[in-house]
Amino acid sequence: MNKKIALITGASSGIGYETAELLSRSGYIVYAVARHVDKMSDLTKLGIVTLHLDVTNELTIQPLVDKIIQENGHLDVLINNAGYGSYGAVEDVPIAEAQAQLDVNLFGMARMIKAVLPQMRKQKSGRIVNISSMAGRIWTPLGAWYHAAKFAVEGFSDALRLETADFGIKVIIIEPGAVKSNWSQIATKKMLENSSDGPYSQLAEQAAANFKRTYDADINKHLSRASLISKTILKSLTSRNPKTRYLVGYGAKMSVFMAAVLSDKHFDQVSRKFM
């Protein structure tokens, strides 16, 4: 039997990197793509094909997908991991920055999916794994655009799942909680750049301090490792009947549970206190 072919975006660090390594060790032929190919040299040593790709550059996506299909004759798995968090008060964040975040986190994912769907429909099989977040199910101050992107990923994935079911394609959403990665560094940096000087400065400073307490592994001994998420992704790929959603990692289940059982106003109070 031919080995399964997996394409992973945002594979230069964190969840994407760990998933590329795990899938390769589990017998998949892995194509790991990212903007920073130089950070994937260790993956290359494992036999993983590492390639440059920016998911916001539409002209380069289809040629890359076509190359993978030509080399293997099929494409079985797409893992949309590329994304980042840009925080700041709505009043402070430039619309251009908000558009950039949506371009990567939502439209980049959509570009990748549109490129692989014709082949998956043709072979009547495939799994599309979209990395969302617990932030697609809850809300916090200063995260409006990140939450908007992840809420959109959730709704987009649900609709896609219905559209592709008749073609044997399964769409899976992974919703990580707090994970040790450079995500929090970027989010905190943007938060302070956008909102540390102005009417939201006190909130931004408090939120930045909270991010450090939550995402610094030396402080928070319960912080999840990216390997936990990669193992969950592999589970979703090997399960005969995968869940539509996998909520996993530090704080994820508790946060989403509280958002579900509390009134919006009560959850608002919890969220503000947490931040």
Residues labelled catalytic: 146
Q: Is 32 exposed, middle or buried (0-12, 13-18, 19+ CB in 10 A)?
A: buried
The structure tokens listed for 234 are 């592999």
Residue 29 three-state SS: strand
Cβ atoms of 170 and 128 within 8 Å: the answer is yes
Torsion of CA 154, 143, 209, 198, to 10 degrees: 180
Q: Which amino acid is at 87?
A: Y
Least Cα distance to 191 among 175, 178, 204 occurs for: 204
Least Cα distance to 171 among 145, 137, 136, 132 occurs for: 132
CA gyration radius, the chain: 19
Cβ atoms of 40 and 81 within 8 Å: the answer is no
The structure tokens listed for 270 are 């919890």
Nearby residues of 233 by Cβ (< 8 Å), 6 or more positions away: 15, 19, 22, 79, 129, 174
Phi, psi (5° rounding) for residue 239? -70, 135
Alpha carbon distance, N-terminus to C-terminus of the chain? 51
Taking the CB of residue 17, how many other CB atoms lie within 10 A of it?
Answer: 24
Element (DSSP H or E) covering residue 205: helix 201-215
